[in-house]
A and B are shown apart, each in its own frame.
Chain A
Amino acid sequence: MRTVLPALAAVASALTAPLFLGPYGHYLLCMAAIYAMVALSLGLLLGLGGQISIGHAGFWAVGAYGSAILVQKLALPFLLSLLASGLLAGLVGLLVALPALRVRGHYLAIATLGFSLVIVHILYEWDGLTGGRQGMFVSRPSLFGHELGSDFQAYYLILAVLALFVWIVVNLRRSLGGLSLSALRLSDVAAQSCGVNRAGATLFVFALSAAITGVSGAFYGAILGQLSTDSFTLVVSLSFLTMAIVGGLNSVVGALLGGIFLAYAPEVLRAFEQWQMFIYGALLVAFMHFLPDGLASLPRRLARIGRRGDA
């Protein structure tokens, strides 16, 4: 009961929130859900797999451009292009996972960063396909031939796909595959001697994480309506990492809160004008000092403070 009630409340508020908001509110909700997918994928890679990536903007770009090109140039239906962009990003993820078989920690961080810079550079130079410097226009998302013209309609499609990913990730964490990943993170030697295939598991978690991020990228392009390579810089990769950790790496709830944080923090901070980024930085520092396990641990923390108050 203790977990079911809050979960029901969260689902209910996610479903009804758009009814009380205007078009800009719908747009922000879409963005929060899109970011939450990326946070989910990073939680998988980092929290479960123990592998760092500061190049997730690269997978995001592959998904965004992949889907946009398939819809625009090959007239593929949006749902199919969504699937294809996930597969495409997953394949690129496999490629990026190759160094992860050899290197870890800071070395892996630089390798993933390098890959994302190269990927985005290729997209930038490939003028004929991606529009290069000018960027390209992207059609609205559609469902079985019906265009989802407003963000209000698109939000429910994004929410459905997000729910699908949440379901996959929750089950993966509990499955044998998830447990092997956990074992590898804690001690790869012990895990391998128990018969866990390290190479296979590493390739799998990278590919799945990249695929989820790719689908998120496909939605991002379709909601924004246009793409340029400026949306896929190192700063974007780093803010993904930030939101995943601020939300909390070890739970699905953390990923959802991280997505909300990344979408809404700039909006709330806009009032501070030139102090905006300073306060954002100070917020990150404060979160890490006072909520080291992320926003997801807030209820537990409050409960502990409450208990201390009673005693």
Chain B
Amino acid sequence: MTWLPLLLSGLAVGSIYALIGLALVIINKATDVVNFAQGEIAMFGTFVALSALNAAGLPVIVVLLLALPCGFLLGALLELVFIKPISDGPPLNVLIVTLGLFFMFNSLAGIVWGFDPYRFPSLFPTEPIAVAGAAVSPASLGIIAVTLVLMAALYLFFEHSRYGTAMRAASMNPFAARLMGIKVGRVATVSWGLAAGLSVVSGILIAPLTFVDQQMMISIILKGFAGAILGGFTSLPAAAAGCLLLGVTEAYVGTLATSTLKDSFAFALIILVLMLRPGGLFVKVARRKV
């Protein structure tokens, strides 16, 4: 049963990618841009969470529960201040603004908290538990569980709630949605909030396994982006599936090769997939006919 711990740790890493990947897709649906600052928002939120833990002495679980609403406020505020005023301009300009936010958050974290890595207390028990004769880390199980709960909540929200349906409508056809009385501008703010909330949760989930420092999310946002593209950037479930697949594939390749080779392998694979299926693995591109 040596495959089970490997599969679970792959799925756990894939879950972190998936939360970031989902955040990127949600923002892309609303603002038509890849938010390069997504990882830095997560990193910044994780630092704030760590300070709340140390200064206010809040229990870890409370901080995890607070992450989503606090992240939401931060994301919504960023959208209102930085994105909304230029959202009518070219999408590339919005992209550069997210790069600007990347630098601002990245250096602000360094200025406030310094450049040394911090330890983050474990959210889950650290003793491995035996499942079917294999030692499994509870942290992996916990990360997968939290992610699954969030994904289920997102699914219910987008498919079965009134506001979720309005958000989907705004993304499909903003003009028609506006005619139906949906405030399309507010949808963008909510999307940024939702995305920031999800990414702060992902930062807090991964923090105990790595360290909290300024650079903690840089490779993760790349993988989240790549995984979402692999699955299909236009669909939330496809993007999440692509991220999970990327996490598992990396875990298996990682046993055979060095970590830099692992990255190159992942990207070579993605290019190959895009050549064969331009819309991602799980999304069928409608053929355009003239």
User: Which residue numbers of A lie inside 8 Å of B, CB to CB?
Assistant: 46, 52, 98-99, 102-103, 106-107, 109-111, 113-115, 117-118, 121-122, 124, 189, 192-193, 234, 238, 241-242, 245-246, 249, 274-278, 280-285, 287-289, 292
Contacts and interface: CB of A to CB of B under 8 A. Distances in A.
Contacts of A281: 99-107
Contact of B96 (A114, A189, A246): A246
B99 A109 contact: no
A116 to B, nearest CB: 9
B62 to A, nearest CB: 31
Determine which residue in A113, A114, A117 has the highest number of CB atoms from chain B within 10 A of its CB, and name it: A114
B34 interface: yes
B259 to A, nearest CB: 11
A106 B86 contact: no
Interface stretch (B5-13, B171-179, B266-274): B266-274
A268 to B, nearest CB: 15
Contacts of A280: 100, 103
**3 interchain residue pairs of minimum CB distance:** A281-B103, A284-B100, A114-B267
Nearest to A190: B290
Contacts of A277: 103, 106-107
Nearest to A294: B93
Interface residues of B, number: 46
Given A114-B270, A118-B268, A278-B108, A124 B101 contact: no
A113 B270 CA distance: 11
B290 A274 contact: no
A35 B97 CA distance: 21
Contact of B104 (A103, A109, A278): A278
A289 B85 CA distance: 8
A282 B100 contact: yes
B260 interface: yes
Given A114-B267, A118-B267, A118-B268, A276 B96 contact: no
Contacts of A289: 85-86, 97
Contacts of A285: 82, 97, 100-101, 104
B239 to A, nearest CB: 11
Nearest to B91: A105
B44 interface: no
B264 interface: yes
B101 to A, nearest CB: 7
B261 to A, nearest CB: 8
Contacts of B111: 274-275, 278
A52 B290 CA distance: 25
A193 B290 contact: yes
Interface string B254-290: 0000001101100110110011001110000000101
Interface stretch (B69-77, B144-152, B205-213, B222-230): B222-230
Contacts of A274: 107, 110-111
20 contacts: A99-B271, A102-B274, A102-B278, A110-B226, A111-B270, A118-B264, A189-B290, A192-B290, A238-B36, A241-B99, A242-B99, A245-B93, A274-B110, A281-B103, A281-B106, A284-B99, A284-B103, A288-B97, A289-B86, A289-B97
Which residue of B36, B103, B267 has the most chain A CB atoms within 10 A of its CB atom? B103
A284 B270 contact: no
B100 A117 contact: no
A283 B86 CA distance: 15
Given A106-B28, A189-B290, 17 more contacts: A52-B92, A103-B278, A107-B274, A110-B270, A111-B270, A115-B271, A117-B267, A234-B222, A242-B96, A278-B108, A281-B102, A281-B106, A282-B104, A284-B97, A284-B100, A288-B93, A292-B93
B92 A117 contact: no
Contacts of A121: 260-261, 263-264
Contacts of B225: 110
A213 B106 CA distance: 29
B233 interface: yes
Nearest to B92: A245
Nearest to A282: B104
Given A98-B275, A234-B222, A289-B85, A113 B103 contact: no
B90 interface: yes
Interface in B23-45: 28, 34, 36
A110 B275 CA distance: 12
Nearest to A189: B290
Nearest to A192: B290
Taking each of A46, A52, A122, A288, which has the highest tally of chain B beta carbons within 10 Å of its own beta carbon? A288
Given A118-B267, A118-B268, A288-B97, A278 B107 contact: yes
B89 interface: yes
Nearest to A122: B264
Contact of A238 (B85, B99, B107): B99
Contacts of B101: 281, 285
A192 B111 CA distance: 53
A121 B261 CA distance: 8
B161 to A, nearest CB: 27
Nearest to A103: B278
A249 B100 CA distance: 18
Contacts of A283: 100
